[in-house]
């Protein structure tokens, strides 16, 4: 077992990566799905192993190819990367439990071999980005993730042809983001002669005050901002989330943008250092207004949507605003709130998208007009949605409340007028969230169903995974020691890494 554990960092990535081509060789609905689910669950268990190990004994380095860093590529499981890997693989596994029935409604069975291959590639790509300690390796795995996400989103075309344009829009915007990241990494290499993140970080102070490095930092930050759909680079996200197949939306809502948030945190703290990022660079002054505008304006926009998936997508952009705000605070509490919200928002939003997927399974639509009276037609699913909505708003006993609690603490730590202003802005944004969730509640319970609307619950294979996420939401809203503990360890680790 010990020898298997020493291979855990690489196994968590190459298991899904190598299962993808195997999956692609098979046709039919069952085998590719079963393989994907098992592999994702194994990857999840390796991530959990790593997380608990790292929390106790500190970071693990794995030298790929037996070449020591900085010559070879190194994988580093540390409190932050292990935590994010756990979130990604956990969300992926939960979504897969639900996937089998759901995806058959949207993608023909003959394409499922390739479909699940793309799903595994997206999973492996995101895990690889998270654990690698090498700047160029990030770009390579970013490409795997991006290409597979474009195609997964386009698979919604069977339901709505606009999935193709949504995927194309994401392809153009995402490629620009990836190119910016590549330019940034290239400039870093020119100035340091190395690609290992720790190695770059050790030389960073001596070269920080040069033009190429300033440009590199700019390109990297804008690249990450595009990839994480930070306001005002979010235009691709609502379309992509709306038209993608339901399980793809649920998977990406919990993982894809979170990986970019992770990258932003990783580069700010592990490479540039907090002194440079928030001292020499005015990152707080840039990120904070954007974060506030994001969660205020996008919450308002969400109120006026006529499609439930699009409504939740805009809410995601708003929630990303909270994570950016936590980063912009440049404090341990703020960072803890951001990292914690990666976990909390992932579990809540994925749960919500899964319940929406169940509604789609029965009604064939996610437009609000077709979902009127859904509370009577699908009581169990709708109740799950309402509970998830409460968690999204941040009602006490839900994870949304916990993250906001830490974020408000971080904001008030500033002790100045801006701090109080930010707290009030967060409160207003939460009120907007109450409005858009209430709109759905009203529609679901107090409006009559359209004539001849399909009635009946979704099959148990859909409802049980939905409720796992909903129960999970409340569990981690009440029993917070674990999630908060890991987030605090990660934040302390990052702040400690500051020179």
Contacting residue, 44, 46, 98, 115, with another protein by CB under 8 A = 115
Provide the minimum distance between the beta carbon of 212 and another protein in the complex, in angstroms, as a whole number: 5
Containing 131, the helix (H) or strand (E) segment is: helix 112-131
Binding flag, residue 208, another protein (CB under 8 A): no
Please, which residues have CB within 8 angstroms of residue 488's CB and are 6 or more apart in sequence?
336
Instruction: Count Cβ neighbours within 10 Å for each residue of 439-465 and write b for 16 or more, e otherwise.
Output: bbbebbbebebeeebeeebbeeebbeb
Considering the rule CB under 8 A, would residue 393 count as an interface residue with another protein?
no
Owner of token pair 């929390």:
55
- For residue 113, the minimal CB distance to another protein (Å) is 9
Q: In angstroms, rounded to a whole number, what is the distance separating the alpha carbons of residues 146 and 164?
A: 15
18-21 long-range contacts (CB < 8 A, ≥24 apart) are: 19/120, 20/117, 20/118, 20/120, 20/121, 20/124, 21/117
CB of residue 199 to another protein, shortest distance in Å: 9
Under the binding rule (CB under 8 A), the answer on residue 348 touching another protein is no
Residue 367 to residue 432: CA distance in whole angstroms: 20
Give the nearest distance from C-beta 406 to another protein in angstroms.
36
Q: CB of 127: closest distance to another protein in angstroms?
A: 12
Smallest separation (angstroms) from another protein to the CB of 477: 37
Nearest CA-CA partner of 233 in 291, 304, 272:
291
Residue 190 binds another protein (CB under 8 A)? yes
Q: How far is the CB of 35 from another protein (least distance, A)?
A: 13
Any contact of residue 140 with another protein (CB under 8 A)?
Answer: yes
- Of 318, 474, 412, whose CA–CA distance to 483 is shortest? 474
- The answer to whether 143 contacts another protein (rule: CB under 8 A) is yes
DSSP SS3 for 281: coil
114 binds another protein (CB under 8 A): yes
64 binds another protein (CB under 8 A): yes
Residues 6+ apart with CB under 8 A from 301: 314
42 binds another protein (CB under 8 A): no
Q: Which stretch binds another protein (CB under 8 A): 13-21, 51-59, 390-398, 448-456?
A: 13-21
Burial of 110 (0-12, 13-18, 19+ CB in 10 A): exposed
212 contributes a contact to another protein by CB under 8 A: yes
Interaction between residue 62 and another protein (CB under 8 A): yes
DSSP state of 28: S
- Residue 408 makes contact with another protein by CB under 8 A: no
Binding mask 352-391 for another protein (x = CB under 8 A): ----------------------------------------
Interface with another protein by CB under 8 A: which residues?
3, 7, 10, 14, 17-18, 20-22, 24-25, 62-67, 70-73, 108, 111, 114-115, 117-118, 121, 124, 128, 134, 136-137, 140-141, 143-144, 147-148, 150-151, 154-155, 157-158, 164, 183, 187, 189-194, 207, 210-212, 214-216, 218-219
């Amino acid at each position: 077992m010990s020898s298997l554990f020493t291979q855990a960092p690489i196994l968590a990535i190459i298991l899904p990566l190598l299962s993808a081509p195997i999956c692609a060789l098979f046709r039919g609905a069952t085998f590719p799905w079963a393989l994907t689910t098992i592999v994702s669950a194994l990857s999840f268990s390796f991530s959990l192993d790593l997380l608990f190990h790292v929390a106790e004994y500190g970071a693990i380095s794995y030298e790929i190819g037996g070449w020591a860093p900085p010559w070879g590529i190194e994988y580093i499981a540390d409190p932050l990367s292990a935590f994010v890997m756990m979130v990604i693989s956990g969300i992926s596994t939960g979504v897969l439990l639900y996937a089998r029935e759901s995806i058959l409604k949207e993608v023909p069975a003959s394409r499922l071999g390739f479909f699940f291959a793309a799903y595994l590639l997206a999973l492996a790509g995101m895990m690889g980005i998270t654990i690698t300690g090498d700047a160029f390796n990030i770009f390579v795995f970013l490409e795997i993730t991006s290409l597979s996400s474009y195609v997964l989103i386009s698979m919604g075309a069977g339901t709505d042809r606009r999935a193709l344009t949504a995927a194309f829009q994401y392809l153009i915007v995402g490629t620009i983001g990836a190119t910016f990241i590549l330019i940034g990494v290239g400039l870093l290499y020119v100035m340091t002669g190395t690609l290992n993140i720790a190695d770059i970080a050790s030389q960073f102070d001596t070269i920080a005050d040069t033009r190429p490095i300033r440009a590199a930092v700019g390109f990297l930050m804008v690249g990450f901002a595009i990839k994480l759909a930070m306001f005002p680079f979010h235009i691709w996200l609502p379309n992509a989330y709306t038209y993608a197949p339901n399980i793809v939306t649920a998977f990406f809502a919990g993982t894809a943008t979170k990986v970019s948030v992770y990258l932003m945190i990783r580069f700010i703290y592990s490479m540039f250092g907090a002194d440079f990022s928030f001292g020499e660079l005015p990152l707080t002054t840039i990120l904070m207004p954007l974060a506030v505008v994001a969660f205020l304006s996008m919450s308002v926009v969400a109120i006026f949507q006529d499609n439930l998936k699009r409504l939740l997508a805009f809410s995601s952009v708003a929630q990303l605003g909270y994570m950016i705000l936590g980063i912009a605070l440049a404090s341990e509490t703020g960072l803890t709130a951001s990292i914690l919200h990666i976990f909390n928002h992932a579990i809540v939003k994925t749960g919500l998208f899964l319940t929406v997927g169940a509604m789609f399974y029965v009604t064939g639509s996610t437009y609000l007009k077709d979902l009127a009276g859904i509370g009577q037609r699908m009581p169990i699913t709708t109740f799950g949605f309402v509970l998830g909505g409460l968690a999204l708003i941040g009602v006490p006993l839900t994870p949304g409340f916990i993250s906001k609690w830490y974020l408000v603490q971080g904001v008030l730590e500033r002790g100045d007028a801006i701090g109080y202003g930010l707290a009030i802005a967060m409160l207003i944004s939460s009120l907007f969230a109450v409005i858009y969730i209430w709109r759905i509640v009203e529609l679901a319970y107090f409006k009559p169903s359209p004539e001849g609307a399909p009635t009946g619950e979704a099959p148990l294979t859909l409802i049980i995974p939905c409720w796992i996420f909903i129960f999970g939401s409340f569990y981690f809203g009440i029993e917070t020691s674990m999630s908060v503990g890991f987030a605090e360890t990660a934040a302390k680790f990052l702040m400690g890494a500051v020179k």
